[in-house]
Structure 1
Amino acid sequence: MNFLRIAAVSKSFGANHVVKEFNLDIDKGEFISFLGPSGCGKTTVLRMVAGFETPSAGRIVLNGEDITALPSRQRNIGMVFQAYALFPNMNVFDNVAFGLKVAGQPKAEIAARVSEMLKLIHLEHLADRYPYQMSGGQQQRVALARALAPRPQVLLLDEPLSALDAKIRVSLREEIRHIQRQLGITTIFVTHDQEEALSISDRIVVMNGGRADQIGVPADIYNRPATRFVASFVGTLNMIEATVLDQSGTVKIGETVVSLPEPIVHRQQGETVSLALRPEAGSLTGDLRGDTALPGKVLSTHFLGSVIRTKLDVAGHQVSFDTFNGPETRLPAAGEPATLRFAARDLLVLQD
């Protein structure tokens, strides 16, 4: 039985349909990320689960109980916001203890639970500090501890790392995932950062225009995108137009005939089909990699440390390909001819 069910949920603000027929079943202890651009509806879904917004249609069921109309304070759900939302007039101890005090727990139990939470986030030495005396990363860890202290059934995180610098974001997202696994708490994490979602999620919900375009494990979302939007939003993608020679999967890119591993059922002979290729799938080295070779010309080369990114003109399309740097690696010069080699099975046929 699913622990949290979001069934056919929609939300409209006047004539603006923000969420449309959204469905998702979440197992107990799962870490789910809502990934998508601004305005796609991901935070609105989160707020409906939290009880801050009421669905226009549909149901939300938590652990067998319909909570669609239940006030937020009765849902036993913890939430961490983007802007920390700590009480500035309270020290760390009192911030973490706030929900426990509201629930009327005895002082001894509150002290023990707060101590446990501060140890969990490795800030027990800062119990007397006030928010203004702490870094952004420390404040967000306190906000996490405050959300977890009342032992919620579900933890919701609304872009909790977006206000932090890059290095702190990486370390804190790993810490959040470690704590989530340690506690086994069902978690929904909202982000527009694909790297965050891919690195810490059990499953990802890619949202577009108020709908879930694709739901799956990170590897499937990246390697087998279901829609053109998912393919273009998650990761870097090269788009290549090809002409269909026959529906068995034979296409022509420029002057090169390529045999795809699967038939093309949505295009007729002579029509154009959109193909996509990840930058890491190609090679410019002389040794044959894969079964397909396309002639091209180097447009530019960018040295990125561990990776070298080369841009090519291939059959009139600008494509980028990444290779790992090595001590003997030579950077191709702009204007040089180059042959792009890859496996035809790595080409993704995109639906409209």
Structure 2
Amino acid sequence: MSFLTLTNLKKSYGTVQVVHDFNMSINKGEFISFLGPSGCGKTTILRMIAGFETITDGTITIAGKNQNDLKPNQRNIGMVFQAYALFPNMTVFDNVAFGLKIAKVAKNEIEARVMEMLKLIHLEHLASRYPYQLSGGQQQRVALARALAPKPQVLLLDEPLSALDAKIRVSLREEIRQIQMKLGITTVFVTHDQEEALSISDRIVVMNAGRADQIGSPFEIYNNPQTRFVASFVGTLNLIEAKVVDGSTNTLQIGDQQVKVKQAVNKAHGESVTIALRPEAGSMAEGAKGDVQLSGTVSSSHFLGSVIRTRLNVGGTTICFDTFNDPAMKPPMPGESVTLKFAADDLMIIAD
């Protein structure tokens, strides 16, 4: 059942419209990520939910209650910002207790709730420290505990991990997801990092120029992109220009070679289509299975640790493919002729 509903949301600054007729229903306890480049409208939608941005048009409801005319402090929402926004003159305990004190919660209840939150983020031993005495990761966990302490209906996270180093980001995003699942709180997470969104979300909203290009599970977004933008933005992808040879048999030409795809080709002979192919889909191993194959010349090979990324020239068309690093097998060398095999299902025709 829908818990947080965004209906026909629009946001304009003067004559510039930054969010176009956005619609989404979010279930109670669901973890939703808004993913997209800077300026795509994802943070604007988050701030409209929080009440920090006025709505040009549309409706926001939480548990059936219209939020449009409520001020931020009247909405039962917790928010974690990119820059932590902790009070430097307050201890960790007092930072977490701040919202509870504003709400005039009884002193003994405040103490119990704050310690519960600090235990949840594993920082109860640092209750008396000040923000400057904490690492960036610890500060962000305190900000999370502060947002959760008043028991909000919805938790909003505005790129909370972007200021942290890579290792801390991975551990903290997993911790955020575990806490969210434990509490069962409806959560909206804004990020431009596709790995973050793919790893912790129930559903992802891929934003492009103020619109949702696609909404779906991480599996759907990655494996079945519906637009050229989603295909190119999420994951590493080959976008290959092909010519229609025979639409009735779904036969296309890539470079100087013909392939058959599973999707219907609704274009005439000689017309162009864009095909998406994930680099990990192909294999050049002997005996590899695949009902489609392309032969070409290796133009370059790059060692990336766990994988080796190879660029293959197929009659003037460049295709990248990844193979797992095997110390017993030498990577293909520039100038070497190889054959790449993959399933016809791996070739996705992308809408323009």
The answer to whether 1:225 aligns with 2:239 is no
Q: Tell me what 1:351 maps to.
A: 351
Separation in 2, partners of 1:204, 1:254: 34
1:231-310 to 2 correspondence within 5 Å? 231-248=231-248, 249-265=250-266, 267-310=267-310
Q: What letter corresponds to residue 262 of structure 2 in structure 1?
A: P
Q: What letter corresponds to residue 237 of structure 1 in structure 2?
A: L
Separation in 1, partners of 2:260, 2:295: 16
Separation in 2, partners of 1:208, 1:24: 15
Separation in 2, partners of 1:253, 1:36: 30
Q: What letter corresponds to residue 196 of structure 1 in structure 2?
A: E
5+ residue gaps, structure 2, are none
- The alignment's TM-score, normalised by the length of structure 2, stands at 0.98
Superposition deviation, residue 292 in structure 1: 1.2
Give the secondary-structure state (helix, strand or coil) at the position aligned to 2:90: coil
1:176-187 to 2 correspondence within 5 Å? 176-187=176-187
Superposition deviation, residue 114 in structure 1: 0.3
1:10-29 to 2 correspondence within 5 Å? 10-29=10-29
Superposition deviation, residue 263 in structure 1: 1.2
Do the aligned residues in 2 keep the contact of 1:295 with 1:340 (CA within 8 Å)?
Answer: yes
Superposition deviation, residue 306 in structure 1: 1.6
Superposition deviation, residue 116 in structure 1: 0.2
Q: Tell me what 1:208 maps to.
A: 208
Do the aligned residues in 2 keep the contact of 1:280 with 1:323 (CA within 8 Å)?
Answer: yes
Separation in 2, partners of 1:56, 1:330: 59
- The alignment's TM-score, normalised by the length of structure 1, stands at 0.98
Separation in 2, partners of 1:256, 1:287: 21
Do the aligned residues in 2 keep the contact of 1:54 with 1:69 (CA within 8 Å)?
Answer: no
Q: What letter corresponds to residue 263 of structure 1 in structure 2?
A: A
Q: Tell me what 1:120 maps to.
A: 120
Separation in 2, partners of 1:121, 1:47: 25
Q: Tell me what 1:326 maps to.
A: 326
1:243-291: CA deviation from partner (whole Å, max 9, x where unpaired): 10222311112232211112112x2211111111000001122223311
Give the secondary-structure state (helix, strand or coil) at the position aligned to 2:2: coil
Give the secondary-structure state (helix, strand or coil) at the position aligned to 1:68: coil
Do the aligned residues in 1 keep the contact of 2:262 with 2:345 (CA within 8 Å)?
Answer: yes
Q: Tell me what 2:199 maps to.
A: 199
Superposition deviation, residue 184 in structure 1: 0.2
Separation in 2, partners of 1:48, 1:240: 39
Separation in 1, partners of 2:306, 2:288: 23
Superposition deviation, residue 300 in structure 1: 1.4
Do the aligned residues in 1 keep the contact of 2:254 with 2:317 (CA within 8 Å)?
Answer: no
Do the aligned residues in 1 keep the contact of 2:4 with 2:25 (CA within 8 Å)?
Answer: yes
Separation in 2, partners of 1:200, 1:298: 36
State how many pairs are aligned: 351
The answer to whether 1:342 aligns with 2:311 is no
Do the aligned residues in 2 keep the contact of 1:300 with 1:311 (CA within 8 Å)?
Answer: yes
Q: Tell me what 1:146 maps to.
A: 146
Q: What letter corresponds to residue 19 of structure 2 in structure 1?
A: V
Separation in 1, partners of 2:160, 2:324: 32
Assess, with a 3 A threshold, how the Cα gap between structure 1 residues 276 and 315 changes in structure 2: closer, same or farther. farther
Separation in 2, partners of 1:252, 1:304: 31
Q: Tell me what 1:83 maps to.
A: 83
Give the secondary-structure state (helix, strand or coil) at the position aligned to 2:305: coil
5+ residue gaps, structure 1, are none
Separation in 1, partners of 2:50, 2:20: 18
Give the secondary-structure state (helix, strand or coil) at the position aligned to 1:3: strand
Separation in 2, partners of 1:262, 1:350: 10
1:179-215: CA deviation from partner (whole Å, max 9, x where unpaired): 0000000000000000000000000000000000000
The answer to whether 1:51 aligns with 2:51 is yes
Do the aligned residues in 1 keep the contact of 2:22 with 2:212 (CA within 8 Å)?
Answer: yes
Give the secondary-structure state (helix, strand or coil) at the position aligned to 1:270: coil
